Structure 1
């Protein structure tokens, strides 16, 4: 009974402000930062394990990257339903524990010299599934801990620490690669997931008890109605995203962008290490620069959004995306500096828009379907990532890798036409009030 009282009091304390200074948000922030640091090590180390330890070719590098993102296609929508029907904190803890076990198995098998490329692909897919479910729970859990007025500041802090972690991660991975091996970087990642799980376990705030009671399986839009199926819950969220003029445009633009980003990411290691003859430190430097740009963007987002307006901030995409064209110029000497400078500006712009768009979605979507809407959007624009990875592998095989990167970077600029096809071009700011869920809107029409 005491636990229920404390849980019920948590949202009231949050509503009064100051959630960002509270113990629970700091624990969530710490868990995310530690986990992302380890994940950054994996992002650096896993392709190098495939390239250096297992001798993967260009096509297999594309397949490996595709396997990391394939879970968004296969379980992305279902994960949103699961996160809306259950308490999010236990789900996040379970995902972190599972990720720790999966990742640590790679260096264990490598130590016994039985690691294979096929096993690496399986681990990439399984850890991707864990990431998808964690993301669904995490994105829906933040608005529970933080009031609507603090969402932009909270997302700025969380994404800022993620980018800071990405700065440290490649440095650790590069050091381990040079001194020992890329495989050992995965040990650091596994440990980070375990520490993150402990921080999440220490959070005191509990979501309303009815989320785990008899109504857990009922459709959130109709809490007094019959038990809804997973399919009906999914389609409710899909219809909401497709019909909403703001979410539809943002999702379409992000989907096209991520299709191309998947291809670019699949070619980065091959381009820098194999085509240009740079050391693994160049891969780490590229990731660090992207992360520094992300860090700058995360903390600049509130000010940029306030000065330009949240809608106009999203419309800056064509300008900052042009700087990505400098990355394929990377080569030993000054051209590497030019390429990294362009990448820095591009990454800053991307994260400014991500923070602004994420805060908008969390404030705009109906609370009872926030996880489903978030995962529907992520399904659409992360689900195309494996297709993009395969596209990058094919383009890198048919053309020179540098030419493939120019093609993908140029096409990325053109995708921003989506942003000018909806209400964004006529608005200074995005709406701040919750949109009506589909069922409520239909009922009003019928009346």
Structure 2
């Protein structure tokens, strides 16, 4: 797998892109809190706007990515995110940066990240063999873990040393480097069969015409050709009907001394035609197919429910957490970045464990136990006080535990989903699970900001952290808990 240049280019591009994304996840909220002095409600709105594209675009992204070339999608997403963060830096230099500008940039980065994430997961399936999916996912998720190590620390350090808007330039540069790496993927990627059939049914109207012909001339020529073909078809149908009528009624026609004049073609009443049943647009049919496939599989359905519970609670928890560290514990921007960056080494360890533990203890046991240990780590944060070195070390330990077991769950779930999904459904299945699993994150962020204003930071953090334990509870009651050491290949599990 590592000998494949295209896989290495995908891995490098995805790693750098994840580094830029995790840098941005720290820079934009800290920019709002430290530079614009945003409150809990404003921070909740900012995070909700950045997460809203997951709810709005995930299903459409899955349907479209299945019909597009994944390399093109990833390149365009990187370019768009680099431009959005560059605009934040320019606005900061000009003194025009405000919360509306951060909201626009956050929404743009979130929307393009949805397309990038769906595309790179689908691209992996097309680059490696199915028996190498777990190794490929471990490599990609391991790179994401490495990005989690450097991204928050880099973002926090840049915000502390420079101004937060200028720190956004680092994310823009990283997205540009990711674009350069992914563009170098050379393996030909054929369009899906459905898109090829559509291209054959609807060829380009300018085929056969000179390329330098003006547009209006080509349109006139096309309309003239279509009208002539329509007239020829109508005359042919009229002649056929007349001949059939003469053959069926020869005597009646001869017995009439004065036959009635025949009606002209334009005077004949139109023949009744049966309208074909209306079908939903193609993209919505494809979305419905993805939803039906995921909902019809008990294991994938359980993944959606558990992911929704986890992401909703995590969004609320992180909104309060980002305010709790600087305002309740009085940590600096660098210390906040260090506490967040500690998730990265744990996630790297979790990616390594994901290549061994599911095959040894079973996928179900690993999923339930790892989710319970990782999600329960945040319950220790509300009991911390002060900004001493011991407090910082405790936050680092919590992040290590959360990163290790959370990443173990992520890699295992991704392998389960890919093993149970046919190639032609990979994008839609990934987008459906993303939509259901993360579609509630904007509401979670808003809830976290509301609870922080009403109940205070410490109590709100305890409540939202306890809600994260609902995810392992749902998995323990589903067919996921009974998954063994091996996974079926493209087959639906039945309860």
Deviation at 1:428, TM superposition (A): 2.3
Deviation at 1:213, TM superposition (A): 5.0
Residue in 2 that maps onto 1:379: 435
Q: CA deviation at 1:433?
A: 0.8
Of 163, 186, 196, the residue aligned with 2:168 is: 186
Q: Deviations over 1:25-67 (max 9, x none)?
A: 1111110111111222211111111112222111000111111
2:107 match: 125
8 Å contact kept, 1:85–1:216: no
| TM-superposed deviation, 1:214 | 3.2
Q: What residue in structure 2 maps to residue 431 of structure 1?
A: 487
Q: CA deviation at 1:328?
A: 2.4
Q: Is the 1:97–1:193 contact (alpha carbons within 8 Å) kept by the matching residues of 2?
A: yes
Q: What does residue 244 of structure 1 align with?
A: 297
Q: 1:265 aligns with which of 318, 325, 341?
A: 318
Segments of structure 1 that go 5 or more residues without pairing to the other structure are 1-18, 219-225, 438-447
Contact 2:23 2:152 survives alignment (8 Å): yes
TM-score in terms of structure 1 length: 0.88
Q: Residues 216, 263 of structure 1: CA spacing in aligned structure 2 closer, same or farther, 3 A cutoff?
A: farther
Contact 2:316-2:447 at 8 Å conserved across structures: yes
Of the three residues 143, 148, 163, the one matched with 2:125 is 143
The alpha-carbon deviation at position 352 of structure 1 amounts to 0.5
1:330-355 CA-partner distances (Å, limit 9, x unpaired): 43222332233133112211100110
**CA, structure 1 residues 423+394, in 2 after alignment: closer, same or farther (shift >3 Å)?**
same
Q: What is the distance in 2 between the residues matched to 1:27 and 1:378?
A: 25
Worse-matched range after superposition: 289-298 or 418-427: 418-427
Post-superposition offset of 1:215 = 3.0
Q: Which moved more, 1:50-59 or 1:323-332?
A: 323-332
User: What does 1:206-285 align with in structure 2 at a 5 Å threshold?
Assistant: 206-209=188-191, 214-215=196-197, 229-285=282-338
The 8 Å contact of residues 306 and 470 in structure 2, kept in 1 or not, is answered as no
The CA deviation string for residues 390-411 of structure 1, in whole angstroms up to 9 with x for no partner, is: 0100111111211111101112
Partner SS, residue 85 of structure 1: coil
Counterpart-to-counterpart distance in 2, 1:227 and 1:414 = 37
C-alpha distance in structure 1 between counterparts of 2:377 and 2:326, whole Å: 22
Partner of 1:313: 366
Query: Could you tell me how far apart the structure 2 residues matched to 1:327 and 1:406 are?
Result: 8
- C-alpha contact (below 8 Å) 2:73/2:116 kept by paired residues: yes
What corresponds to 1:40 in structure 2? 22
How far, CA to CA, are the matches of 2:483 and 2:415 in structure 1?
17
Tell me the distance in 2 between the aligned counterparts of 1:140 and 1:24: 14
CA distance in 1, matches of 2:283, 2:148: 35
Q: Alpha-carbon deviation of 1:436?
A: 6.0
Q: Does 1:356 align with 2:409?
A: no
- Listed as ranges, the gaps of 5+ residues in structure 2 are 201-278
Tell me if structure 2 keeps the 8 A contact 1:263–1:391: yes
Counterpart contact for 1:272–1:330, Cα < 8 Å: no
Decide whether aligned partners of structure 1 residues 211 and 287 sit closer, same or farther in structure 2, where only a CA change above 3 A counts.
farther
- The structure with more helix, counted as a fraction of residues: 1
CA contact (8 A) 2:339 2:392 kept: no
After superposition, the C-alpha distances for 1:203-226 in whole angstroms (9 at most, x for unaligned) are 0112124559533689xxxxxxx9
For residue 21 of structure 1, give the secondary structure of its aligned residue in structure 2: coil
**TM-score, structure 2 normalization:** 0.80
Contact 1:253 1:418 in 2 (8 A): yes
Q: Aligned equivalents of 2:27 and 2:409: distance in 1? A: 28
1:258–1:381: 8 Å Cα contact kept in structure 2?
yes
1:369: Cα distance to partner? 1.1
Q: Deviations over 1:148-204 (max 9, x none)?
A: 111111111111111111211222223322322222221011011111111111001
Q: 1:71 aligns with which of 53, 58, 67?
A: 53
Report if the CA contact (8 A) 2:66-2:192 is conserved. Answer: no
Match of 1:345 among 394, 401, 409: 401
Q: Distance in 1 between matches of 2:154 and 2:373?
A: 33
Seen in structure 2, the aligned counterparts of structure 1 residues 136 and 426 have a Cα distance that, compared at 3 Å, is closer
Q: What is the deviation of 1:414?
A: 3.1
Q: Is the 8 A contact 1:217 1:227 kept in 2?
A: no
Q: Which has the larger radius of gyration?
A: 2
Q: Distance in 2 between matches of 1:383 and 1:327?
A: 26
Alignment correspondent of 2:2: 20
**After the TM superposition, which segments of 4 or more aligned residues of structure 1 sit over 4 Å from their partners?**
209-213
Counterpart in 2 of 1:421?
A: 477
2: CA distance, partners of 1:217 / 1:408:
50
Aligned pair count reads: 412
RMSD: 2.0
Q: Which residue of 2 aligns with 1:369?
A: 425
Question: Which of 356, 360, 363 lines up with 1:303 in the alignment?
Answer: 356
Worse-matched range after superposition: 404-413 or 317-326: 317-326
